[in-house]
Amino acid sequence: MTDITSASGAPTPKRATELVAASLKRRRRKQARLKWIGLGAIGVAFLMLIILVGSLVSSGWQAFTQTHVTLEVFVDPEEIPLDRLPRGGFDDALGASLGKMLPGVDMSQRKVAKSVEKILSNGAQFKLRDMVVADPKLIGQTITMTVPVSDPFDQLNKNLIDRDTPEQHRRVKDPEIGYFDALKAQGAITKPFNWALFTNADSRFPELAGLKGALAGTFWALLTCFVISFPLGIGAAIYLEEFAPKNKLSDFIEVNINNLAAVPSVVFGLLALAVFIGWFGLPRSAPFVGGLTLALMTMPTIIIATRAALKAVPPSIREAALGLGASKQQVVFQHVLPLAMPGVMTGTIIGLAQALGETAPLLLIGMNAFITSAASSPFDSATALPTQIFIWADSPERGFVSRTSAAILILLGFLVAMNAVAIFLRQKFENKW
């Protein structure tokens, strides 16, 4: 040490301190840099989450309202004769009532009448038909009804269609905008909350499409998934944690469960397609098959969570119960399991939340079909919430973009709610030993 310093011209102690101070400064700068880069990385992740949610909200919130038009419909006995029900010229009756509200418009011209009728949703005539069929006395009367407008005019009313674009690039033409504005000036156009999003099933027309079918399908699939995976998962976890002898077989089962948790979801879809549908002949597109598949995927999650919860129960509980003469199974089922239940429920809810968002296996078993009614049993054809999102995302109509975002917001809402329940359960009931 002394040799080197004398060779390089002995630094005074003061100079050594300066050197260290300088290098320390550099080193601290480096530390600050690493810290800021790390914070930046987290910032990137946060930014992505914000952009993700922001873009969904900004395109999805519009779908929670739906433009409606209120009409005075004269149920013309000539157009809709009693003896021809449920057939009749319901669309013409609606068109005529629209024409009455637009004084300057010559409805006798076929072309003009057609473009006026374009304002109404295709579902309007079915709504009128259902009303008249339910109460044939309406024929000959004038009734007030509020019906959805068709998708282009809904977009127009929500300012999603730019009126300044040249007419040929626009889906609504100038005269049509004129009719619509005239209706709006009379106060006939309203934009209430879009209940149809929850009470209608799927439809080819965006203004009529709703999530009822998807929600029903998801409900049946998750119910099936829960009924199967919950008992199986708990049984397996209790056996492996409390009773299994430590041998090769138990190790093999454990490795199996861990690997199963990491198998790609689409492989479970292939399994379901080949075994449940191909070999056992279960119906395609049925939520029951979907639930069965999801159960196989959820089971490892439940097993792992249950084992962790069982492990957290202190041995003193077991020893106390054993000491009082309980059998091993009585100890587990009457003391350990009830104490572990909050953890088990938390794990189960998290597993079900994962299953709720799972899409790929459901696509393979055909739960992406176009189905316009809600399933009333787990064996009816149905879609599920995530597959409905996939279907809508693939649909070309503009109106489906905001519906897709809205459906995603609803799905995320369910996920947040389920996770909140899980966290609440954990904090409220979990025992701290």
Partner 1 sequence: MTALPFLLLILATLAGYLLNRMAAGSIRANGARLHSMISYHGMFAALLVLVPVLTIILLWLAFEGPIIDRVVMSGLPDGLLDGQGDGALQLVLAEIKSISRGQIFGTPEDWKIAAADSYSALRTQSDWWMVAVVAGVSLAIIGFARSRVTAEFRARQGVERIVSGLMIFCSTVAVFTTIGIIVSLSYETVRFLDRVPLSEFLFGTNWEPQIPLREDQIAAEGAFGWLPVILGTMVITVVALFVAIPVGLLSAIYLNEFAPRKLRAVIKPVLEILAGVPTVVYGFFAVLVVAPAIRDLGQSIGIDVAPNTALAAGGVMGIMLVPFISSFADDALSAVPSSLRDAALGLGSTRAEMMTTVLFPAAIPGIVGGVLLAVSRAIGETMIVVMAAGLIAKMTINPLDSVTTVTVQIVTLLIGDTSFDNPKTLAAFALGMMLFLVTLMINVFALRIVRKYREAYD
DSSP 401: H
CB of 16 to partner 1, least distance (A): 14
Q: Does 299 bind partner 1 (CB under 8 A)?
A: yes
User: In sequence order, what are the beta bridge partners of 92?
Assistant: none
Q: How many CB atoms lie within 10 A of CB 401?
A: 20
Among 11, 140, 178, 264, binds partner 1 (CB under 8 A): 264
Binds partner 1 by CB under 8 A, chosen from 11, 40, 81, 86: 40
- Rounded least distance, CB 14 to partner 1, Å: 20
State the pairing for strand pair 189-190/68-74: antiparallel
Q: 87 to each of 64, 126, 128, 135, how far by Cα in Å?
A: 33, 10, 11, 14
Q: Name the residue nearer to partner 1 (CB basis): 128 or 408.
A: 408
Residue 239 binds to partner 1 (criterion: CB under 8 A): yes
Q: Which amino acid is at 352?
A: L
Asked if residue 51 binds partner 1 (CB under 8 A), the reply is: yes
Q: Which of residues 58-77 bind partner 1 (CB under 8 A)?
A: 59
- Per CB under 8 A, the list member of 274, 320, 417, 420 interacting with partner 1 is 274
Determine if 200 is a binding residue for partner 1 (CB under 8 A). no
Site residues for partner 1, window 351-370 (CB under 8 A)? Answer: 353-354, 356-360, 363-364, 368
**Amino acid occupying residue 247:** N
Number of residues in contact with partner 1 under rule CB under 8 A = 88
Interaction mask 240-259, partner 1, x per CB under 8 A: x--xx-------xx--xxxx
- Sorted by sequence, the CB contacts under 8 Å of residue 284 that are 6+ apart come out as 277, 365, 366, 381
**Segment 365 to 424, residues that bind partner 1, using CB under 8 A:** 368, 386, 389-390, 393-394, 401, 404-405, 408, 411-412, 415, 419
Which residues face 193 on adjacent strands?
A: 65
Rounded Cα gap, residues 351 and 294, in angstroms: 10
User: Least distance in Å: CB of 401 to partner 1?
Assistant: 7
Question: Would you say 45 or 133 has its CB closer to partner 1?
Answer: 45
Site residues (CB under 8 A) for partner 1, limited to 143-182: none
Other CB atoms within 10 Å distance of the CB of residue 150: 22
Q: Check residue 82 for interaction with partner 1 (CB under 8 A).
A: no
Cβ–Cβ < 8 Å for 406, 197: yes
Q: Kindly state the smallest distance separating residue 260's Cβ from partner 1, in Å.
A: 5
- With binding defined as CB under 8 A, does residue 87 bind partner 1? no
Distance between CA atoms of 384 and 386, rounded to whole angstroms?
6
The gap from C-alpha 128 to its chain's centroid, in whole angstroms, comes to 32
Contacting residue, 232, 317, 322, 341, with partner 1 by CB under 8 A: 232
Q: Which is nearer to partner 1, 121 or 368 (CB)?
A: 368
DSSP structural state of residue 65: B
Helix intervals (H) in 242-395: 248-260, 265-271, 287-312, 315-323, 328-331, 337-357, 360-364, 385-394
Query: Stretches 5-13, 52-60, 125-133, 170-178: which one binds partner 1 (CB under 8 A)?
Result: 52-60
> In angstroms, what is the minimal distance from the CB of 293 to partner 1?
10
